[in-house]
Amino acid sequence: MKRAFFDTCVAAVVAVAVVGCTTAAGSEMSGADAADVDAATTERALTDAEQMLVDEARELLIEDCMAAEGFRYLPVPVASVEERQGFGYVLDDVGWAREHGYGTELQERLVAILQDDPNTAYANALPKAERLRYSKALDGDASAEMLTAELPMGGAIQTPSDSCVAHAKGELYGDFAAWFQAEKVATNLVGLYADDLVADERFETALAAWSECMRERGHDYPDPPAIREDLPRLTDGLSDEKALDVEQELAVAEAICATRETSIVSTTRDLESEYRGRLRQYRDDVITYQRLQHAAVEHAREILAAEPAPSN
């Protein structure tokens, strides 16, 4: 249904809320020592292409599971590598910015896919009792057994332990319960250090340099989020073509200032590595999260390789 694109976009926003991804180790260590421990004990984040493989395999597994329950399910198109970019604190790809601006047309494409989802139409056409059974088969029954994950900033989140979505993720990650706990911790750590990071003098210095670079190009903004907040005003009443022109000009300037003229990208990544390195208590969850992610890529490749080629 709406899951593949929705999950991808939410994950992207969470993963790069500041600029990087998830988190790991350290307590009273220096930034350099913490970063060394972080690099030594965790694997790299998945590339967009690898995550795309996992998402595609998940959809195929959901299709098989739903068929076993007696329902039709068409794998939802997953976000492309191109559509997974542009969600960070600051744009860092000049080529992507030159083509897509801030990605408005990609977001509109997402909305169109969600609106035209054939699985929603199929489910809505079922008799009420079957529609309820379809929903429970796909997403689980909230009145049945639930998995609970404690969140780093407090509170908890639950999900049904038995559903086709849970089955698919269990096949990919090897242990759905372990994945659910680790993923909810690892992708919700940014809030523990984001305020400290943006108040860090090193970040403030890099951001001031970026802002000055933008000013020199005729765009007076204190930070990248201010541009996004201003876009609706700047593009109000414009044709799609002219609105894209506005986006592209700003986005290219933002990316050039971020990657070629200042150190905002590298500084933020280094600081995030340092700050996340202090979160020793979450080390095991982060390592588990990254280990299971890489295992899922290998399982996804096997699943996709076994899938029959589409007939012409």
Note the pLDDT tens digit of each residue in 227-260: 999 999 999 999 999 999 999 999 999 999 999 9
CA distance 292 to 285: 10
Residue 94 has pLDDT above 70, yes or no: yes
Angle between helices 190-199 and 264-276 (to 10 degrees): 130
22 pLDDT above the threshold of 80: no
Mean pLDDT over 27-45 rounds to 46
pLDDT tens digits, 192-203: 999 999 999 999
* pLDDT exceeds 80 at position 206: yes
- pLDDT of residue 277 exceeding 70, the answer is yes
The whole-number average pLDDT for the span 149-177 is 97
Q: Spell out the residues 6+ positions from residue 227 whose beta carbon is closer than 8 angstroms to its own.
A: 102, 219, 221, 250, 254
pLDDT tens for each residue of 142-162: 889 999 999 999 999 999 999
pLDDT number for residue 159: 97
Could you tell me the pLDDT band of residue 110, with boundaries at 50, 70 and 90?
confident
Q: Cα 65 to the chain's mean position, in Å? A: 25
In angstroms, the CA 271 to CA 195 distance is 12
Among residues of the chain, what percentage have pLDDT more than 70? 85
- Note the pLDDT of residue 311: 60
Please name the residues in contact with 75: beta carbons below 8 A apart, sequence gap of 6 or more.
Answer: 4, 56, 59, 60, 62, 63
Segment 122-131 shows an average pLDDT of 98
Mean pLDDT confidence for 62-91? 95
3-state secondary structure the chain: CCHHHHHHHHHHHHHCCCCCCCCCCCCCCCHHHHHHHHHHHCCCCCCHHHHHHHHHHHHHHHHHHHHHCCCCCCCCCCCCCHHHCCCCCCCCCHHHHHHHCCCHHHHHHHHHHHHCCHHHHHHHCCCHHHHHHHHHHHHCCCCCCEEEEECCCCCEEEEECCCHHHHHHHHHHCCHHHHHHHHHHHCCCHHHHHHHHHHCHHHHHHHHHHHHHHHHCCCCCCCHHHHHHHHHHHHCCCCHHHHHHHHHHHHHHHHHHHHHHCCHHHHHHHHHHHHHCCCHHHHHHHHHHHHHHHHHHHHHHHHHHHCCCCCC
Please give the Cα distance from 276 to 280 (Å, whole number). Answer: 8
Residue 2: per-residue pLDDT: 43
> What's residue 113's pLDDT?
86
Say how many residues make up the chain. 312
How far apart, in whole angstroms, are the C-alpha atoms of residue 268 and residue 198? Answer: 9
Whole-angstrom Cα distance, residue 8 to residue 128? 30
Tell me the pLDDT of the chain averaged across its residues.
Answer: 88
Q: Closest by alpha carbon to 35, among 287, 226, 269, 308?
A: 269
CA distance 163 to 220: 50
Residue 16 pLDDT > 70, yes or no?
no
Do residues 2 and 117 lie in contact, with contact meaning Cβ atoms separated by under 8 Å?
A: yes
The whole-model pTM stands at 0.83
Who wins on pLDDT, 33 or 228?
228
CA distance 296 to 294: 5
Least confident window among 21-30, 48-57, 106-115? 21-30
Average pLDDT over residues 167-183: 98
On the CB side of 59, how many CA atoms lie within 13 Å of its CA? 21
Q: For residue 1, what pLDDT band results from cuts at 50, 70 and 90?
A: very low
**pLDDT tens digits, residue range 279-294?**
999 999 999 999 999 9
216 has a pLDDT exceeding 50: yes
Q: Whose structure tokens read 């993720």?
A: 169
